[in-house]
């Protein structure tokens, strides 16, 4: 989470004002400052509902309080109210076009809304304003990886690591980019470093599982995906990857069990149905395999596993 910001809200009072009016304006400014500080502390303490309330009050008292919009943006983002986060960070940028924090936080919100082009544009602007903005490099790394520009992803996460060698998230995302580039040795190295920095990093275990599986180190893959599931038992992809590791070991019954759990958690997981079909075939359960291939193709007509297996079995899709 990006840290909050305390705005400076000093009022410059004209000397011609009557004393009682000067006092009232000063009191208003002090109230706005107090609400702004409460908002900031709520954000840093992870009290996001309270932060929204306090930031809203600060904005009501001072509609030009850029930092209150920044902090409410952060609070909304952490509440997964990404559209509201975008609106607040946009307002902060309107008030101050040099606000790197607002650009980075809007980038983060855009990522979660699936606006990847907007995310890259905003993180790029945040970096232009603050070339040492580590989190902006990490978020842009994630976007490049998502869009298939893996070399650019590696470059951005490498820059983030240069700025902060203790950034576990940067190592984990560079690990993912290396997997997509087929460089499994470097992927294992990076995910291992991410785990050393944060032993609760479920994604690092899952990604290292995938790298080990592609190296045909199935025992290590099973161990890592199992650990990922211990950390998050609701992650369908971890069960899918564990199933694939068991398949590589030739333990087809365990593969079926894990693919089944993956489909329970994500009913439209076409790849899990396709892979379970392969495991059923290995077990000689051809009717169940056929049903899974057909279901996978219904969910995803472009599913290559299902297409190839149905063709091989002489069954029309």
What pLDDT is stored for residue 30 in this prediction?
A: 60
Mean pLDDT by 10 residues, the chain (317 residues): 38 35 44 71 91 93 92 96 98 96 96 97 98 97 97 98 98 98 98 98 98 98 98 98 98 98 98 98 96 96 93 82
- Burial class (CB within 10 angstroms; exposed 0-12, middle 13-18, buried 19+) of 284: exposed
What pLDDT is stored for residue 118 in this prediction?
A: 97
Residue 97: CB atoms within 10 A of its CB come to 11
What pLDDT is stored for residue 15 in this prediction?
A: 31
Contacts of 140 (CB under 8 A, 6+ apart): 107, 119, 120, 123, 124, 127, 156
User: Domains in the chain, ordered, with CATH?
Assistant: 254-317 (1.25.40.10)
Contacts of 115 (CB under 8 A, 6+ apart): none
**Inter-CA distances, 119 with 32, 88, 134, 274, Å:** 31, 15, 15, 33
CB 57 within 8 A of CB 35: yes
What pLDDT is stored for residue 42 in this prediction?
A: 86
Q: Give the integer Cα–Cα distance in Å for 109 and 143.
A: 12
What pLDDT is stored for residue 33 in this prediction?
A: 65
What pLDDT is stored for residue 36 in this prediction?
A: 66
What pLDDT is stored for residue 21 in this prediction?
A: 37
Cα 214 → chain centroid:
24
Structure tokens that stand for 65 in this block: 């309080």
What pLDDT is stored for residue 162 in this prediction?
A: 98
What pLDDT is stored for residue 38 in this prediction?
A: 83
DSSP state letters, 247-260: HHHT-HHHHHHHHH
């Amino acid at each position: 989470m990006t840290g909050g910001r305390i705005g400076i809200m000093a009022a410059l009072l004209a000397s011609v004002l009557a004393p009682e009016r000067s006092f009232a304006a000063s009191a208003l400014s002090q109230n706005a400052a107090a609400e702004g500080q409460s908002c900031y502390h709520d954000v840093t303490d992870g009290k996001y509902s309270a932060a929204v309330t306090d930031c809203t009050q600060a904005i009501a008292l001072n509609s030009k309080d850029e930092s209150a919009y920044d902090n409410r943006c952060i609070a909304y983002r952490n509440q997964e109210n990404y559209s509201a986060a975008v609106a607040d960070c946009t307002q902060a940028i309107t008030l101050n076009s040099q606000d790197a924090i607002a650009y980075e936080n809007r980038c983060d919100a855009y990522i979660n809304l699936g606006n990847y082009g907007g995310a890259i544009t905003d993180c790029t602007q945040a970096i232009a304003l603050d070339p040492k903005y580590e989190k902006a490099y990490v978020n842009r790394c994630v976007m490049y990886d998502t869009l298939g520009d893996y070399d650019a992803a590696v470059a951005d996460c490498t820059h983030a690591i240069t700025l902060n060698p203790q950034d576990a998230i940067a190592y984990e995302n560079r690990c993912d980019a290396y997997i997509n580039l087929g460089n499994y040795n470097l992927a294992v190295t990076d995910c291992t470093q991410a785990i050393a920095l944060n032993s609760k990093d479920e994604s690092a275990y899952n990604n290292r599982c995938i790298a080990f599986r592609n190296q045909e180190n199935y025992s290590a893959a099973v161990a890592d995906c199992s650990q990922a599931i211990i950390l998050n038992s609701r992650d369908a992809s971890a069960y899918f990857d564990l199933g694939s590791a068991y398949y590589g070991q030739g333990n087809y019954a365990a593969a079926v069990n894990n693919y089944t759990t993956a489909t329970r958690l994500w009913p439209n997981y076409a790849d899990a149905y396709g892979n379970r079909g392969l495991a059923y075939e290995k077990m000689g359960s051809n009717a169940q395999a056929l049903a899974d291939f057909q279901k996978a193709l219904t969910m995803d007509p472009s599913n290559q596993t299902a297409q190839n297996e149905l063709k091989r079995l002489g069954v029309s899709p």
